[in-house]
Every structure is written in structure tokens, then in C-alpha cells.
């Protein structure tokens, strides 16, 4: 569905060059849900706007939905849907009219666009809002309206840029359901961007991690997480002056990587979290070291990102941040 090679875009703003995307290779097969995961400013939107013909790449080539991006942009436009990060409707217009006009710009008849729009309103829980102005809708409703706009012409490939940013947890979970439904019911290929780890984890068959305009890792959520190298062991020392001694014990566990120390917390990686935990508790006891907390958990995508870039996705741009403890299995 998508095949991109060396896609790059440089912006020139006041004599300063910004390399927003620095050569990206992408392969997305039909029927896949693929996520582009990265912090704000990583180049996700810029990549999407190139793939949807809105921006001309400064370098690289791509075939999208069977059409060459540069040679046949109209062919690409005809076959894809795009839901931008910043909305798609005039706040003062009526929701239904916006959808119908959008369908007409795809060459649909008014009758077809109306029928299809009505059906999408039902499917996306927008019933009764056909004559509502977008400015009088909730954030979640407006986002679903954007999605209806992007789907009115039944594209085989749809691009969703940060589909759930700014929504409350319930609205997000609801929207995920709809996005999964696209593939299940229609076989639609979905390419989405997100800076939410849980979203990438819950929704995507495959994730591309992007940072500073380049793809730094790629794989299924599970493969990425097992690539981190074992479980994450977090020990909080009872006394700050004992942190060093605790860290030495963690480092001595079988197969452990050198642990990181954040304040009174020691974070290490071990191949087998459960076994290591039992051994560590015994050794701590024998050494007479007290602990305020101890836990082992499966690695999260944040650990993946941290391992790849040295930065956490949760606190964007911040240097290595303390790992927020999460109970084992919370992410899967």
C-alpha cells in the first residue's frame, strides 16, 4: 500500500534550515494498521503530509496506493483518506453538509455522499448530529466527524494524524474501537501517528519509532519490547546513602545490564524478572539493606524509546527521566 524510499523534507524558515524528515523508508502492506510513534516535532506530520501529496518531498520517492507520489498525485488523492491533526471542518458549517461537500470533491454524487455520510454518522456514534455545527460539538464528536470526512469516499488507505490527541480516556478507547473496525469490516489499511505509547501498543500491528526525522526502530509492539532485553527491575532504597550498595547487588544479578540510578531509585534490566526478584530480596536481606519498594515489570514501549534515544516519551524532550512504576502486565 505504501512504499517510500529516502523520503525527506527540509523547511527553510528565516534562513534557518529545519530538517523535519531526514530520509525515511516505509513499507506498509494492505490491511495493516501501522503506527508512527514519536515525540512532538519528530517529523510524523511532515511525513504524512508528504505521503498525502500536501507537501513536496525535497528528496526521495514513494508509491502510495499504487500511484507514484510525484508523477500521479491526483491518483494518490483519489485513493486515500486523510484525517489531519488540526481538524477539517468549518466551525460554522453544518456537519452533514461538510461531509457531503467533501464527498463531492472526491467526485461522488450528492446522493451517494449523503447516503454514505449518514451511514458513517451511525457507525461513528454521531447520530442526530447531522445538522449540528462543529463548534457546538465535543472534542470527541468533532474528531469522529473528521474521521467521517476522511472516510466518506471509502478509501482503501487512510492516514490518521494523532487521532486521539486531546480526548478523554473513554473517548480514546471508543475511537480505537472504530479504527480497529475499519480494518475488520472493510479491510482498510490504516497508517496513524501518535505520541501515546498505549495507543501504539493497543492499536497497531506494527510500529515505526521516529525521532528527529529518522526511523530508529521498527517491529511489532511485542518484538520491540522484547528487544529491550528483559524485564525492568525497579528498587527504591529505604535510605539514600544505601543506593550505591543496592545498585551493586542489582548489577550482580545473573544476566543483568549495568543499572541506572535516579535519586533513591535503581532501575535495572534482567532477563527473568521473577527469578531475579526472589534472589535480590534474599541478598538485600542478607546485606541488611532496607527497601521502600521493589518490583519487576515487562518492558513498555517507553523503555523501548528510552533505550533507543536516551529520552523518555512521557516527558518530551526531558533528559532521562525516572521510570514511572507500572504493575506487571499493565500494558498487555
Partner 1 sequence: MTLPVATNSIGRDTWTVFARAMRLSLRNPAWVVIGLTQPVLYILLFGPLLEPLSGQLGSGNAYQVFVPGILVQLGIFGALFVGFGLIAEWRAGVVESQRVTPASRTALLLGRVLRDVVVLLVQGTVLVLVSIPLGLRAPVLGVVLALLVVALLGAAFSAVSYALALTLKSEDAFAPLLNAVVLPVLLLSGILLPMTLAPGWLQAVSDVNPLKHVVDGVRSLFDGSYTSATAWWGLGLTLAMAALGWWFGVRRFRRESG
Ligand X SMILES: Nc1ncnc2c1ncn2[C@@H]1O[C@H](COP(=O)(O)OP(=O)(O)O)[C@@H](O)[C@H]1O
For binding to partner 1 (CB under 8 A), which residues are involved? 52-56, 65, 74, 77-80, 82, 84, 86-93, 97, 101-102, 104-109, 112, 146, 149, 153-156, 187
Residue 45 as a binder of ligand X (CB under 6 A): the answer is yes
Residue 46 as a binder of Mg ion (CB under 5 A): the answer is no
Between CA 234 and CA 263 the distance in angstroms is 12
Phi then psi dihedrals of residue 56, to 5 deg? -90, 125
User: Judged by CB, which is closer to partner 1: 134, or 268?
Assistant: 134
User: Judged by CB, which is closer to ligand X: 41, or 271?
Assistant: 41
Question: Which of Mg ion, ligand X, partner 1, none lies near 130, with the C-beta cut-off 5 to 8 A by kind?
Answer: none
Closest CA to 200 of 228, 157, 163: 163
> Residue 293 has which C-alpha cell?
519498594
Residue 325 as a binder of ligand X (CB under 6 A): the answer is no
Q: Give 162's DSSP letter.
A: S
Question: Which of ligand X, Mg ion, partner 1, none lies near 53, with the C-beta cut-off 5 to 8 A by kind?
Answer: partner 1
Residue 11 as a binder of ligand X (CB under 6 A): the answer is yes
Three-state secondary structure of 101-155: HHHHHCCCCHHHHHHHHHHHHHHCCCCCCCCCCHHHCCHHHHHHHHHHHHHCCCC
Residue 56 as a binder of ligand X (CB under 6 A): the answer is no
| Residue 114: partners with Cβ closer than 8 Å, 6 or more residues away | 96, 100, 103
Residue 18 as a binder of ligand X (CB under 6 A): the answer is yes
CB of 175 to Mg ion, least distance (A): 17
Residue 87 as a binder of ligand X (CB under 6 A): the answer is no
Q: Residue from 35, 43, 259, 268 that binds ligand X (CB under 6 A)?
A: 43
User: Judged by CB, which is closer to ligand X: 85, or 272?
Assistant: 85
CB of 331 to partner 1, least distance (A): 32
For cell 472516510, the residue is: 151
Between CA 279 and CA 276 the distance in angstroms is 5
Q: Which stretch binds ligand X (CB under 6 A): 41-49, 111-119, 198-206, 216-224?
A: 41-49
Closest CA to 5 of 54, 80, 70: 70
User: Judged by CB, which is closer to Mg ion: 49, or 77?
Assistant: 49
Give yes or no for a contact between 147 and 124, defined as CB atoms under 8 angstroms apart: yes
Question: Which of Mg ion, partner 1, ligand X, none lies near 149, with the C-beta cut-off 5 to 8 A by kind?
Answer: partner 1
Question: Under rule CB under 5 A, which residues in 56-115 are in contact with Mg ion?
Answer: 85
The count of residues interacting with ligand X (CB under 6 A) is 12
Give yes or no for a contact between 45 and 191, defined as CB atoms under 8 angstroms apart: no
For cell 480514546, the residue is: 172
Q: What phi-psi label fits residue 205: left (phi over 0), alpha (psi between -120 and 50 degrees) or beta?
A: alpha
> Residue 308 has which C-alpha cell?
533507543
CB of 191 to ligand X, least distance (A): 13
Q: Residue from 34, 46, 84, 95 that binds ligand X (CB under 6 A)?
A: 46
User: Judged by CB, which is closer to partner 1: 21, or 108?
Assistant: 108
How far, rounded to the nearest angstrom, does the alpha carbon of residue 106 sit from its chain's CA centroid?
A: 28
Residue 45 as a binder of Mg ion (CB under 5 A): the answer is yes
> How many other β-carbons are positioned within 10 Å of the β-carbon of residue 49?
21
Q: Which stretch binds ligand X (CB under 6 A): 34-42, 60-68, 91-99, 146-154?
A: 34-42
Residue 141 as a binder of Mg ion (CB under 5 A): the answer is no
> Residue 12 has which C-alpha cell?
527553510
The contact set with Mg ion (CB under 5 A) reads 44-45, 85
Residues that bind ligand X (CB under 6 A): 11, 13, 18, 20, 38, 40-46
Amino acid at each position: 500500500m505504501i512504499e517510500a524510499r529516502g523520503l525527506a523534507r527540509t523547511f527553510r524558515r528565516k534562513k534557518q534550515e529545519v530538517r523535519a524528515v531526514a530520509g525515511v523508508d516505509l513499507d506498509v502492506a494492505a490491511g495493516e494498521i501501522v503506527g508512527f510513534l514519536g515525540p512532538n516535532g519528530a517529523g510524523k506530520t511532515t511525513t504524512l503530509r508528504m505521503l498525502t501529496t500536501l507537501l513536496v518531498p525535497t528528496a526521495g520517492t514513494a508509491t502510495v496506493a499504487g500511484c507514484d507520489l510525484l508523477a500521479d498525485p491526483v491518483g494518490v488523492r483519489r485513493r486515500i483518506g486523510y484525517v489531519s491533526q488540526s481538524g477539517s471542518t468549518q466551525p460554522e458549517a453544518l456537519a452533514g453538509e461538510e461531509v457531503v461537500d467533501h464527498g463531492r470533491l472526491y467526485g461522488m454524487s450528492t446522493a451517494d455522499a449523503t447516503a454514505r455520510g449518514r451511514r458513517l454518522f451511525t457507525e461513528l456514534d454521531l447520530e442526530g448530529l447531522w445538522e449540528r455545527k462543529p463548534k457546538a460539538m465535543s472534542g470527541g464528536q468533532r474528531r469522529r466527524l473528521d474521521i467521517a470526512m476522511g472516510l466518506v469516499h471509502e478509501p482503501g488507505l487512510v492516514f490518521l494524524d494523532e487521532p486521539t490527541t486531546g480526548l478523554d480516556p473513554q473517548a480514546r478507547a471508543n475511537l480505537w474501537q472504530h479504527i480497529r473496525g475499519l480494518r475488520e469490516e472493510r479491510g482498510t489499511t490504516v497508517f496513524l501517528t501518535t505520541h501515546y505509547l498505549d495507543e501504539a501498543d493497543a492499536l497497531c500491528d506494527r510500529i515505526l519509532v521516529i525521532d528527529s526525522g529518522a526511523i530508529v526502530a521498527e517491529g511489532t509492539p511485542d518484538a520491540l519490547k522484547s528487544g529491550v532485553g528483559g524485564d525492568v527491575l525497579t528498587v527504591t532504597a529505604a535510605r539514600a546513602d544505601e543506593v550505591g550498595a543496592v545498585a551493586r547487588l542489582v548489577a550482580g544479578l545473573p544476566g543483568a545490564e549495568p543499572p541506572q540510578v535516579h535519586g533513591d531509585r535503581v532501575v535495572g534490566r534482567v532477563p527473568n524478572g521473577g527469578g531475579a526478584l526472589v534472589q535480590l530480596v534474599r541478598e538485600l536481606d542478607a546485606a541488611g539493606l532496607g527497601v521502600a519498594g521493589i518490583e519487576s515489570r515487562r518492558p513498555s514501549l517507553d523503555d523501548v524509546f528510552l533505550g533507543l534515544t536516551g529520552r523518555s516519551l512521557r516527558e518530551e524532550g526531558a533528559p532521562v527521566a525516572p521510570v514511572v512504576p507500572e504493575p506487571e502486565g499493565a500494558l498487555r
